[in-house]
Amino acid sequence: MITVTLTVNGRTYSADCEPRRTLADFLRHDLGFTGVHVGCEHGVCGSCTVTLDGASARSCCLLAVQVDGADVVTVEGLAQDGELHPLQESFRRHHGLQCGFCTPGMLATALELLKDNPAPTDPEIRQAISGNLCRCTGYQFIVDAIRDAAPGRP
């Protein structure tokens, strides 16, 4: 067992884990952040995407021991003081989720996009989320939500 220490959603956690434990499983099962969804376990579907040291990352493809000392933001850390993050609110307003399984990963991916490009075009949004699979929405409402939440949007 190895002790891993992470800052998750602004709070520091330490827990022992096996060296082969994925970050997704560590966050979900050891620390209780069930908003980290596990789908394909191969980094293909994007449902496990979190923000890791300011960039989106597939938590199923990383070992917890690899990111010891890192800063992680999960979907649980987006809302502040009971208020949805503007991107979450936009997803709600535009019906950008149905079953919700892909939503945490979509949000993490969209946050990085909007940080890097505050006024993305629809093709840029579609390119950014192309690695996140959604089986419910057909993506249009997700694109609408991200576009509407873009801080540099006219």
- Rounded CA separation 3/15 (Å): 5
Average confidence score pLDDT of the chain: 95
> In CATH, what class is 86-149?
mainly alpha
Distance in Å from the first CA to the final CA of the chain: 52
pLDDT of residue 134: 92
Q: pLDDT class for 8, splitting at 50, 70, 90?
A: very high
Q: Where are the domains of the chain?
A: 2-75, 86-149
In this model, does residue 152 exceed pLDDT 90?
Answer: no
Backbone CA torsion sign across 62, 110, 46, 28? positive
Per residue in 35-85, pLDDT tens? 999 998 898 999 999 999 999 999 999 999 999 999 999 999 999 999 999
Q: Which residues contact 27 (CB under 8 A, 6 or more apart)?
A: 8, 33, 36, 50, 59, 72, 74
To the question of pTM greater than 0.75 for the whole model, the response is yes
Contact 86, 22 (CB under 8 A): no
Query: Does the fold of domain 86-149 match that of domain 2-75?
Result: no
Domain 2-75 has CATH 3.10.20.30: yes
In this model, does residue 101 exceed pLDDT 90?
Answer: yes
In this model, does residue 153 exceed pLDDT 80?
Answer: no
